[in-house]
Amino acid sequence: MAKRIRKAVFPVAGLGTRFLPATKANPKEMLPVVDKPLIQYAAEEAVRAGIETLIFVNGRNKRSIPDHFDKAYELETELEQQGKLDRLEAVRNIIPPHVACIYIRQSEALGLGHAVMCAEPVVGDEPFAVILADDLIDDGEGNGCLAQMVARYDEQVASILGVQRVPEAHTDRYGVVDVDPLAERLGRLKGIVEKPQPADAPSNLGVVGRYILNSSIFNKLRQTRPGAGGEIQLTDAIDALRQDEPVLAYEFEGTRYDCGDKLGYLQATIEYGLKHPELGPAFSAYLQARG
Ligand code: G1P
């Protein structure tokens, strides 16, 4: 029987250098897309997938993330007094009461693999999710990319990576997988490489910031030496894991915006602006008039 996926790890200790100076004093995960920070979209996706414990692995300058998910007494009192009840609702129930937030400090930015390893004392011996908040994934009316992956996990009971086809010229931005097809949208991993040059890439299927991992990944992470960019790469530990047990790659349904990149971030802002209930019609009229 598949164990329930109850915990999600959010590595948020990256330096966000591509967005400097916006990210000088604020983490990139707090950049807003229209009116919500990226980390809130990620947390909501996790909650919709049934996650009950959100584990944030943060570094310096990350006070704003715990503050964002915390109660804001003064603000709430003021909004209440001013009768701004819709705004009050927007700040009050960001995370439902049954969901807990835990913060772990990654004191050195040694890579994604290291960040995930920092969560081991809280994750313990159960399968868990990893979400990279700068990959914003919209699956329309669905329950979110992670919920799709949890459903696959329940059937297959194996670690699963969320993947999508990426332009061949961009393989050097992703962990790229080599798979044997298993079922529709699902393959079994034969290999995975971190950020290969297009000529060396085993395919154009890139991992995009969603993972469900068995706790056996922690042993592999402990044995992982610094790889691409001198960092401890989650990709390398996954490559070691798939040699011991099945690891799957799942082509999720939905559109992914690379919000760690300025162009992807602007594209997300336009699309989320257009479908925003209050803003959409006026924003669409503005874009049309502009031609
Ligand atoms: C990380 C991972 C990479 C993955 C990517 C998805 O890279 O190391 O394997 O494909 O996230 O966004 P980063 O974008 O943090 O450099």
Is 1 within a domain? no
Distance between CA atoms of residues 194 and 228, nearest Å: 7
Both tokens of 254, joined, read 């939905």
Q: Evaluate the CA torsion angle 190, 194, 200, 206 in order and state its sign.
A: positive
Give burial (CB, 10 Å; 0-12/13-18/19+) of 270: middle
Write down the H helix ranges in 82-183. Answer: 85-92, 112-118, 120-123, 145-156
Q: How far is the CA of 245 from the centre of ligand 1 (A)?
A: 22
Is 2 within a domain? no
Peptide bond into 167 cis (omega under 30): no
8 A C-beta contact, residue 214 and residue 245: yes
Amino acid 154: pLDDT:
94
pLDDT at 72 over 90: no
Is 227 within a domain? yes
**Segment among 19-33, 43-57, 127-141 with least mean pLDDT:** 19-33
Pocket test for ligand 1, best of 116, 134, 193, 207 (most atoms within 8 A of CB): 207
Question: Domain residues for 108?
Answer: 7-289
The reply to whether ligand 1 has any atom less than 6 angstroms from the CB of 211 is no
Is 125 within a domain? yes
The reply to whether ligand 1 has any atom less than 6 angstroms from the CB of 132 is yes
Both tokens of 152, joined, read 């696959």
Hey, which residues does 58 pair with through a beta bridge?
12, 105
- Provide mean pLDDT across the span 180-193: 96
8 A C-beta contact, residue 39 and residue 85: no
Output phi, psi for 176, to 5 deg.
-115, 135
Give how far Cα 178 sits from Cα of 33, 52, 102, 201, 236, Å: 33, 32, 34, 9, 14
The reply to whether ligand 1 has any atom less than 6 angstroms from the CB of 175 is yes
pLDDT tier for residue 73 given thresholds of 50, 70 and 90 = confident
Amino acid 61: pLDDT:
66
Percent of the chain clearing pLDDT 90 (strictly above) = 76
Distance between CA atoms of residues 39 and 10, nearest Å: 8
Amino acid 1: pLDDT:
73
Is 241 within a domain? yes
- Residue that wins the pLDDT comparison between 106 and 34: 34
Is 133 within a domain? yes
Distance between CA atoms of residues 41 and 271, nearest Å: 14
Q: How far is the CA of 235 from the centre of ligand 1 (A)?
A: 9
| 161-179: pLDDT as tens digits | 999 999 999 999 999 999 9
Q: CATH number, domain at 269?
A: 3.90.550.10
- Provide mean pLDDT across the span 148-161: 95
Q: What's the number of domains the chain is made of? A: 1
Is 67 within a domain? yes
Hey, which residues does 285 pair with through a beta bridge?
none
- Provide mean pLDDT across the span 84-91: 84
pLDDT tier for residue 209 given thresholds of 50, 70 and 90 = very high
- Provide mean pLDDT across the span 193-217: 96
> What's the first-to-final CA gap in the chain, in angstroms?
55
